[in-house]
Amino acid sequence: MSNTSYDTYRENVAGRADVEDTPELVAYYKELDALKTGALWTVANKIEPWQPKSESVPVLWRYRDLRDHVLRSVELVTPEKAGRRVIYLNNPGRQDVSAAVGWLYSGLQVMHPGEAASAHAHSSSALRFIMEGSGAYTIVDGHKMTLNANDFVLTPNGTWHEHGVAAEGTTCIWQDGLDIPLVNAMEAGFYAVHPDLQQAVTHPVDDMPAIWGGKGLRPHEGNWSKPYSPLYKYEWAPTYEALARHSKVTDGSPFDGVLMHYVNPVTGGPVMPTIGASMQLLRPGEATKAHRHTGSFIYQVAKGSGYSVINGQRFDWTERDIFCVPSWAFHEHANASASDDAVLFCFNDLPVMHSLGLYREQALAENGGHQVVL
Ligand SMILES: [Fe+2]
Ligand SMILES: [Fe+2]
């Protein structure tokens, strides 16, 4: 330890820490270490970077690479033993936590017809986006939702929830998205297994989407004060229809094409306090301009094919592929088809960024707003 250096993060910039190690200072730092303290100027430039420095790297997870491995887990473990049979997405830049990007977790879960996972509750907020199969369902606090491809369903913080596939269904695969790394970073995570292992369905099937899912309509008797959306399930067909109609009358955003946020119908705000979700449509041949912003984003290709350039790296994607955009990484998206639209589902931590006042955004000024592909 005699050659420990304390001046690794020096910056020769006015207002920044720039203290060179001397034998006297190093001895002093060691005395501070022994007292479980430290001199801020030895770490200040590291812990207060000029701009966000994500530990996460951009990643594309190709579904054609993952699908067989996900299906193999069915032969290897039972949902009873595994709790949840999930292959999680592991960002290679993150060895500290199981994160797909930033403070977001994601995984692919598979279930055979007739299987059901045990009911549980946790402090993390979760959503799932259905990738393939029929007969999938989720029960949230006694409300059962039936699910099809490109539907997504919420299982908010603290709710009893469980997933299964009807006996007459087919093998289902869906993407889970949770804020587990965030909740753990906040040291606020609780987990509970339902005392009966399954919960009773105490309401008519699909009642919450039926009550809360009217376009531009709010139920007269709808009292809801919980901090998440009562809609629970967001179906693909009306979402795609809304995007398609929207795209006929607007150019949308130069950075995102036609993008619509899923909302809590009571507040117009995000579906859950910590996780937001959106769906965006890129018209045939559309290529957006590059920007960057705070927040971590996980995309799944719901329809079509194209590519995204993330921090100068091009990722070609097709239906069901998943990719991530780390915080403050420049990104732009393009639809590779000249005839069909491309649609991207996305979930993110934007509600956290906005509610904590941490959201910032910047357009790429150079090169006509497009990144140079490395
Ligand atoms: Fe869960
Ligand atoms: Fe963006």
Q: Which ligand is nearest to the CA of 253?
A: 2
132: CA distance to ligand 1 center in Å?
Answer: 20
**Residue-wise pLDDT tens for the chain (374 aa)?**
456 899 999 999 999 999 999 999 999 999 999 999 999 999 999 999 999 999 999 999 999 999 999 999 999 998 778 878 899 999 999 988 999 999 999 999 999 999 998 899 999 999 999 999 999 999 999 999 999 999 999 999 999 999 999 999 999 999 999 999 999 999 999 999 999 999 999 999 999 999 999 989 999 988 899 999 999 999 999 999 999 999 999 999 999 999 999 999 999 999 999 999 999 999 999 999 999 999 999 999 999 999 999 999 999 999 999 999 999 999 999 999 999 999 999 999 999 999 999 999 999 999 999 999 99
Ligand nearest to the CA of 280: 2
Spacing, Cα 38 to ligand 1 middle (Å) = 40
Q: Encoding tokens for residue 289?
A: 């301009």
Ligand 1 mean position, distance from CA 168 (Å): 24
Ligand 1 centroid to Cα of residue 230, in Å, is 17
User: Which residue pairs from 18-25 have beta carbons closer than 8 angstroms and sit at least 24 positions apart in sequence?
Assistant: none
CB-based contact 172:233 (threshold 8 Å): no
What span, in angstroms and rounded, lies between the C-alpha atoms of 88 and 78?
17
Render 98-159 in DSSP notation, one character per residue: --SBTTBEEEEEEE-TT-BPPPEEESS-EEEEEEE-S-EEEEETTEEEEE-TT-EEEE-TT-
Residues 201 and 183: their CA atoms lie apart, in Å, by: 28
Is 367 in a helix, a strand, or coil? helix
Dihedral angle of Cα 73, 171, 323, 368, to the nearest 10 degrees: 160
**DSSP for 243-283, written as a single string:** HHHHHHH---BTTTBEEEE---TTTSS-SSSS-EEEEEEE-
Cβ-based neighbour number of residue 56 at 10 Å: 21
Q: What is the set of domains in the chain, with CATH numbers?
A: 1-50 (no CATH), 59-369 (2.60.120.10)
| Shortest-distance ligand to the CA of residue 117 | 1
Our CA dihedral for 359, 362, 245, 129, rounded to 10 degrees, sits at: -50
From the CA of 256, the nearest ligand is 2
Sign of CA dihedral 350, 354, 356, 357: positive
DSSP strand pairing (291-293 vs 361-363): antiparallel
Please provide residue 361's backbone torsions phi and psi, each rounded to the nearest 5 degrees: -140, 145
Question: In this structure, which ligand is nearest to the CA of 179?
Answer: 1
